[in-house]
Amino acid sequence: MSPVSPSLSHRLDGLRSSAIRDLLTLTERPEVIGLAGGLPDEQLMPRDRIARAAEAALADRSRLQYTQSAGWGPLREVLAARESARLGRAVPIAEVFVTHGSQQALSLLGEVLLDPGALVVVEDPAYVGALQVFRAAGARIASVPLDAEGMRVDLLAELLERGERPAVVHTVSNFHNPRGVTMSARRRAELAGLADRYGFWVIEDDPYGELWFDRPAAEPVATYSPNVIRLSSASKILAPSLRAGWMVAPDRVCRAVELLKQGADLCGSALTQQITADLLADTDWLAAHVNTVRSNYGERAKALVGALRERFGNRIVSTDATGGMFVWASFTDDTDTARSLSRAVEHGVAYVPGSAFAVDSDYRSAMRLCFTTFDAPTLREAVDRLARTFGEERDG
Ligand code: PMP
């Protein structure tokens, strides 16, 4: 008798694997210059400093033990001090919650803030990891586009005036993934004003804020309203494998997240949390380290954008890359970047088609290019390969 197959939950209906993750496998060949990945540069990750901190942590056997669900106390203290400086108010430790990367904060917040059918407003194009969380929570998704000043808060206001009542608005306020733009100070204040007036949560998802090239981004949206939950992470400034993310949120949100975190994984790793605390508390070292990352990424971004302008002229409009890890490049004609991807891979270059991030628009003529892991000459070569890919297509 063949076994009767047990079923999976209905929550999985309509969930699909991230298109980016599927694409990455295709583009991992060594001869391909992979601008698709979106990974920070491991050559810039402070391996020796991490090794020293790990050695120090292991001198205390209790670091091998379970720790508190909300995070190892001294790390929360370091984070509270850091966030107090960032937010311009004394952030109590009860409002700081450590998660397994900021992605886990998103996932737990999806459960804490959303009932099935609740409305979530995201930016279009959107961070795919957030979309996955909101879809898994059974939310209805609406979107507002971005322009050079970040989220079109005026369109969010229109949506609210039409009577829509989101439970959550998600924004990547600094150096957007994938769109590259940063929200202006005026829009931050307006968004917070709407959150106060209509009573919704804003999730300000900010893993890239420290990675500015010329000047720091404006004050976090969280400085303007208590309804803003701020997420940040050590992944982009130290190393993703530390899996150290954190949330600054009202006490009642932290307590609710704590209940769920206990069920999800009991607690994070005391070992990597101590390493993270050690590095974040070493402020002179950290400032120098982050500056090195900034200047390397800044140089690479400028090389990529410069080469795009040189090779494609007016045929491509791209973001200026003032920080973060991504350039969003849009063809001004009807080039279809998804259709051209396999041809690009044949030419030895890969990107993520804009359609992978699309919510309500299609972004079929756009692509996300990640500049973090290649030096300037390699990036110029990548753009030459893109030019060959798309040039051929036009002639052919
Ligand atoms: N938010 C955004 C906008 C991201 O781009 C990422 C990583 N790609 C994350 C959150 C999650 O990062 P982590 O879990 O490593 O902190």
What ranges do the domains of the chain cover?
11-40+287-395, 47-281
Q: Which atom, in ligand 1's list, is nearest to the CA of 172?
A: 3
d(CA 303, CA 327): 11
Q: Which CATH class is domain 11-40+287-395?
A: alpha beta
Q: Is 101 helix (H, G, I), strand (E, B) or coil?
A: helix
Residue 5 CB partners (closer than 8 Å, separation 6+) = none
pLDDT attached to residue 10? 80
Q: Which atom, in ligand 1's list, is nearest to the CA of 100?
A: 14
C-alpha 38: how far from chain center: 10
Q: Which atom, in ligand 1's list, is nearest to the CA of 103?
A: 14
Q: Is 348 helix (H, G, I), strand (E, B) or coil?
A: coil
Sequence-ordered alpha helix ranges (H) in 47-137: 47-58, 73-87, 101-113, 128-136
Q: Ligand 1 centre from 7 Cα, in Å?
A: 31
Taking residue 314's Cβ as centre, other Cβ atoms within 10 Å add up to 8
Please name which of 113, 110, 203, 119 lies closest in space to residue 166, comparing C-alpha atoms.
Answer: 119
Q: Which residues approach ligand 1 with their CB closer than 6 A? A: 38, 101-103, 127, 129, 172, 177, 205, 207, 233, 235, 240, 245
Dihedral angle, C-alpha 356, 361, 366, 369, nearest 10 °: -50
Architecture of domain 47-281: 3-Layer(aba) Sandwich (3.40)
Which residue, by CA, sits nearest to atom 11 of ligand 1? Answer: 103
d(CA 390, CA 30): 22
Q: Ligand 1 centre from 197 Cα, in Å?
A: 29
Residue type, 9: S
Q: Ligand 1 centre from 230 Cα, in Å?
A: 13
d(CA 55, CA 59): 7
Q: Ligand 1 centre from 207 Cα, in Å?
A: 6
Which residue, by CA, sits nearest to atom 9 of ligand 1? Answer: 103
Which residue, by CA, sits nearest to atom 5 of ligand 1? Answer: 177
| In the chain, beta strands by DSSP E | 33-34, 96-100, 119-124, 140-147, 150-151, 168-171, 201-205, 228-233, 244-248, 316-318, 326-331, 349-350, 352-353, 366-370
Q: Tens-of-pLDDT digits for all 396 residues of the chain? A: 889 989 888 877 767 666 556 666 766 788 999 999 889 999 999 999 999 999 999 999 988 999 999 999 999 999 999 999 999 999 999 999 999 999 999 999 999 999 999 999 999 999 999 999 999 999 999 999 999 999 999 999 999 999 999 999 999 999 999 999 999 999 999 999 999 999 999 999 999 999 999 999 899 999 999 999 999 999 999 999 999 999 999 999 999 999 999 999 999 999 999 999 999 999 999 999 999 999 999 999 999 999 999 999 999 999 988 999 999 999 999 999 999 999 999 999 999 999 999 999 999 999 999 999 999 999 999 999 999 999 854 443
Would you say 188 and 173 are in contact if contact means Cβ atoms under 8 Å apart?
A: yes
Mutate to test the pocket of ligand 1, among 177, 179, 181 (most ligand atoms within 8 A of CB): 177
Q: Ligand 1 centre from 162 Cα, in Å?
A: 32
Please name which of 247, 209, 254 lies closest in space to residue 229, comparing C-alpha atoms.
Answer: 247
In the numeric block, the tokens 């890919």 are attached to 389
pLDDT attached to residue 19? 59
pLDDT attached to residue 24? 61
